[in-house]
Amino acid sequence: NAGVTQTPKFQVLKTGQSMTLQCAQDMNHEYMSWYRQDPGMGLRLIHYSVGAGITDQGEVPNGYNVSRSTTEDFPLRLLSAAPSQTSVYFCASSYSGRETQYFGPGTRLLVL
């Protein structure tokens, strides 16, 4: 198993550009989530999904969209990037919301 994979590893965007951060898992996990990590802030939940076709907002959802068309994939979309979205983004998955989550390696995003 590859576990949780994320692409790209690094990305530089200009303000106003859009992009999609990819996340995939091959463990047949129902639950997937996106976090952002900022210095001194720990990890904050952006959006999560309890299964294909179902998504919900986390603590900091503004400026981000998600969809879950398959069990394996959970992309995170930035429609119009802002400098405040400069961060490290982590995707995580688990069998259910009550099981321990496994994290991907992260995507480092810089918005100029």
Partner 1 sequence: GQQLNQSPQSMFIQEGEDVSMNCTSSSIFNTWLWYKQDPGEGPVLLIALYKAGELTSNGRLTAQFGITRKDSFLNISASIPSDVGIYFCAGRRYGGSQGNLIFGKGTKLSVKP
Of the CA atoms within 13 Å of residue 48, those in its CB half-sphere come to 18
Q: Which residue in 34, 48, 64, 74 binds partner 1 (CB under 8 A)?
A: 48
Binding-residue total with partner 1 (CB under 8 A) = 28
Which CB, 14 or 62, lies closer to partner 1? 62
Residue 24 in contact with partner 1, rule: CB under 8 A: no
Residue 83 in contact with partner 1, rule: CB under 8 A: no
Instruction: Please choose, from the candidates 7, 11, 20, 6, the residue with its C-alpha nearest in 3D space to the C-alpha of residue 112.
Output: 11
Min dist CB 15 to partner 1, Å, is 26
